[in-house]
Structure formats: C-alpha cells, structure tokens
Amino acid sequence: MDRRTRIATMMIVSGLMSTAVLLPVAEACTRAVYHGADNDVITARSMDWKSDIATNLWIFPRGMERGGEVGPNSVKWVSRYGSVIASAYDIATTDGLNEAGLSANVLWLVESEYPPYDGTKPGLSIAAWAQYVLDNFATVSDAVAALAKEPFVVVTDQMPGENRLATLHLSISDATGDSAIIEYIDGKQVIHHDRDYQVMTNSPIFEHQLAQNAYWKQVGGTVMLPGTNRSADRFARAAFYINAIPRDEDPVVALASVFSVIRNVSVPFGISTPNEPNISSTRWRTVADHKRMLYFFESALTPNTFWVDLKNIDFSAETGRVKKLDLGPDQRNVYAGDAAPSFEEEKPFRFQGLAD
C-alpha cells in the first residue's frame, strides 16, 4: 500500500469511526454462518448482555399447542418441529435449532419499531418470535414465504427489570446455508433474504451494516480490520473471518474454526467501555452444526463446552417430553460432552406477553 493509499484509508476510517460515535448504543451480540466443505453449515452466535439473563436450555417436542400471549386475538399454532433452545429469564426464546436443521437467533436492534397493535390482527409476543419460526418451518425459504404474508403483528413489551421495550431483530439459517434477517423499521417488516447474508450484529439496521462492510471488503481483511467492540467493527471482523477460515472436510476442524471466529468477536468478560454503558460482556456462545445436528453451548464462566445431540432426542408428539437443562446463575453449572441425558422433565415456561 503506497503512502497516498494509506492516507486515504486513514481518512475514511476516521470518518467511519466518527460516524460510529453518533450511533445509538446497544447490547452487543454477533451471529455468523459458515459455509464449509461437503455441504457443512454451522451457525454461531454470541450473547452479550450487561447482566445475567438467567439462560437455561430447553427441549420442546412436536405437537405443543402455542399462543402469541397478547390477548384474545393471539396467533395460535401447534408445533410441527421439535427444537432445542436457549431461553432468557425462562420467558423468551433467544436462540435455538430445530430437528429439521433450522436455526433462529434474536439480537438487539435499538432502531426497531414495531407496528401498533390494536387487536384487529393476530398478535405474537416478541418473546415467542424465534420459537414461532422454529416450531413451524424447516427451511429459510419456507419461513420467509410465510412471514412475508405478515400473518401476525409482533408485539413488544418491557424488558424484565428495565424501563425500556425489547427491540430485537431475527436471523434464521438452515442446513442448506440459506439465511435471512427480519427487522421492523418504521413500523414495517423488512426481510433480507440471501445465502450471502452470513453475518448480523446490532446497530445500525442491516441495510446500513452491509453498506459499511462494503468498505472493509475493499480494504481487505489481511490489510486492516477494525478492532473495537462496536457493532460495525464486530460485523467487519466476523464477515472477513467466517469466509477466511479453511473449508476443512474434517467437521471437528471446521467446528473449531467457527468457534474461533465467534470468540474473536466476543467482548471480554467484565469489561466496561467508558461512555458506552451498553457495550456488554459476552455471557455465552452457541454453535449449531446443521449437518451433524449438534447444538453447542459455551458459558464464559465454566471451563467446558458441551453439546446436545438432536439425533438422540425424542421429539415425537406422542412420547416426547418438555425438558430443561438448568444452567444455574450466570450459567455456572458445568456439563461435559452430550448433555442431553442431563435434561430433566419440566413444565414449559410461558412466554411473556401483554396478558402478564
């Protein structure tokens, strides 16, 4: 890189950083989808939050009767697919993988603005948004086709213990490597659907994330990558590394590479950023191996990464049971290997909604 190019690059970076300072602060999470050799697809996400969100893992079988939890005109459905999910406060689904190989993840997006809900159209609590997708669809294409018809209104509510509404966007990926991002901007649903949409973080809205990342693609990740905890910087690093890691035919090596990417964009535990109170520590990470049907969980406060093998779970409506894996405060409970046998039968939690 010659001197003139370096100066131009520094000027552009400075401009981007100045713009980033003006962006609304938000809880920080990252999601990335890996396209590997021999149709290997792996989705990884980090959960970054300022305090413990009391996450546990749950097994949900097929045939569960569900409701949108927003009053008399709540959308209703019966789950077609079983799933393993990570909860928040045991009132919401934040992340999960279903038995058809579809993954769903919700991340914070402060710019979200949902349509007003007056009860004339079926409503769905935002706490059940990801679960609705996991329960009903096998592929991203099927989910996008159904959601594009807007069969319900997403209804948000106060965050537990906080004086603010939940503002989330949803990412979904499947065993073919297809991907979609669903956001609500200015009260309207916006769906971004493309196999190339592998990465999602937080602010700004996804359209602007793509525009910012175009610059870093031009610079090239081997020349320079942004290194802060900000959403746009994490997006640039994840987008570069998820496509830079080798497409190894050994699934164990591929998994290790994906874990290294999601760890690279994680926020060190206990860190506090001056003037950025909502940039938060990574509390846990999940990695969904769509081909091998393994759902990995890694807490920042335990020494082991463990997994759940969905192939060995009874998801049938007749004999399958709702089960819970208690992760403990701050997800400190230690598990190793396939933790499926450690799940215990439990009543399903109720999604937070307007009726609460």
- 3-class DSSP state for residue 200? strand
Which of 29, 53, 70, 236 is labelled catalytic? 29
Instruction: Give me the phi and psi of 191, to 5 degrees please.
Output: -115, 125
Nearest to 33 by CA among 102, 92, 108: 102
Nearest to 19 by CA among 267, 167, 185, 203: 203
- Per-residue CA distances from 251 to 39, 241, 246 (Å): 11, 17, 11
- 3-class DSSP state for residue 210? helix
CB neighbour class for 122 (10 Å; exposed up to 12, middle 13-18, buried from 19): middle
Residue type, 164: R
Q: What is the DSSP string of 217-232?
A: HHH-TTT----SSSHH
Q: Which two tokens stand for residue 217?
A: 């693609």
User: What is the 8-class DSSP label of residue 290?
Assistant: T
Q: CA end-to-end span of the chain, whole Å?
A: 59
Contact 85, 127 (CB under 8 A): no
Q: Residue 124 forms beta bridges with which residues?
A: 154
Residue 77: which residues within 8 A CB-CB, separation 6 or more?
A: 65, 66, 132, 135, 136
Calpha distance 191→184 (Å, rounded): 9
Q: Catalytic: 154?
A: no
Helices assigned H by DSSP within the chain: 3-21, 129-136, 140-147, 206-219, 231-244, 251-264
Catalytic residues: 29
